[in-house]
Structure 1
Amino acid sequence: MNYVSIKFQRLKVTYVVCCNVVRVNGHACLDPKKATTDHFFFEGLYKPGNTSNPLGTFINRSTVDKIPWLTTLDVSTVRVDYALHGIVPSHRHPRASKIFIALDGEVLVGFVTSDPENKLFSKG
């Protein structure tokens, strides 16, 4: 195996060459000459999820595992279905961004800044 570390935008990426396949962040790189529309498309976000669980939520992720060409783009999309009074516990996403769109009902969302002030921004 060969390892080559390079700077890629704001991430340090390690390329691993094994069996003539280049891997970035653990995912095989696709040959651009073999790319098809299906490599950029995931239709699973239109399906409602089962919210019959203690949190009352279902999270459907469209990440690099489902859309291979997201390998180095730092992009993903998530559909979250909420039951009445459903919650997503506090969590963190270092260096990540979110956009919320409520299609039905009302959602209370917020975030806390990571600076020493730990200021809460909330809306809903």
Structure 2
Amino acid sequence: MRKFRVTVNGTSYNVEVQEEIKSVTAVPCGQAVVPAAPAVAAPSPVAAPVEIAAGDSAIKAPMPGKIIKVLVKKGDKVKKGDVLMILEAMKMQNEITSPASGCVTLMNVANGKSVKPGEVMAVIG
């Protein structure tokens, strides 16, 4: 078991995840088993840091996932609690809401974009 601390919508949770055990294929006696080489992912480009002005509210990804629907765009006025986008994670659709009333000053995601935990998805000013 591996232990993680996960924050969802500002609430922290301690979770335990059981690692999956890969199945073993039987081989005839006397033959060696050669493990497959691990897959190496291509490095992803590093995104430029997002600057947030004093008084602005950054909406950060609470978990890794994929944006399946963006409901607002830069320049839109929103109220506290308005749904800004839908984040799909672990086959669940999560509504990402505005933490404050204001204007969308930055929309850093689009439909189909994958996000990492803590990544700034939008800014409300």
TM-score by length of 1: 0.25
The answer to which structure, 1 or 2, has the higher relative contact order (CA under 8 A, 6+ apart) is 2
Q: State which structure, 1 or 2, has the greater radius of gyration over its C-alpha atoms.
A: 2
